[in-house]
């Protein structure tokens, strides 16, 4: 982390889930709305998504029936 503050600026949550306080990044999981904007703007690639968060996101996505689609070709 370069402490650039981009993650804090982009966070749409109210209150913000990610803040820089006393030259440290503070993440408040309970305030995170899981938009992943902080992940997208981090030029240092210092933000990593944990597997449980990714699995929750995957469960929400409606995945089309790829096998059925391929048979129709």
Rounded Cα distance between 73 and 66, Å, is 11
Res 46: pLDDT: 92
The pTM of this model reads 0.64
CA atoms within 13 A on the CB side of 55: 3
Tell me: the pLDDT tens digits for 7-63? Answer: 999 999 999 999 999 999 999 989 999 888 999 999 999 988 776 666 666 666 655
Res 58: pLDDT: 63
Res 49: pLDDT: 79
Res 50: pLDDT: 73
């Amino acid at each position: 982390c370069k402490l650039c503050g981009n993650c804090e600026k982009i966070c749409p949550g109210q209150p913000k889930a990610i803040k820089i306080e006393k030259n440290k990044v503070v993440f408040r999981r309970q305030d995170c709305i899981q938009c992943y904007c902080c992940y997208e703007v981090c030029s240092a690639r210092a933000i990593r998504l944990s597997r449980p968060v990714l699995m929750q996101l995957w469960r929400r996505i409606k995945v089309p029936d790829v096998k059925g689609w391929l048979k129709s070709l």
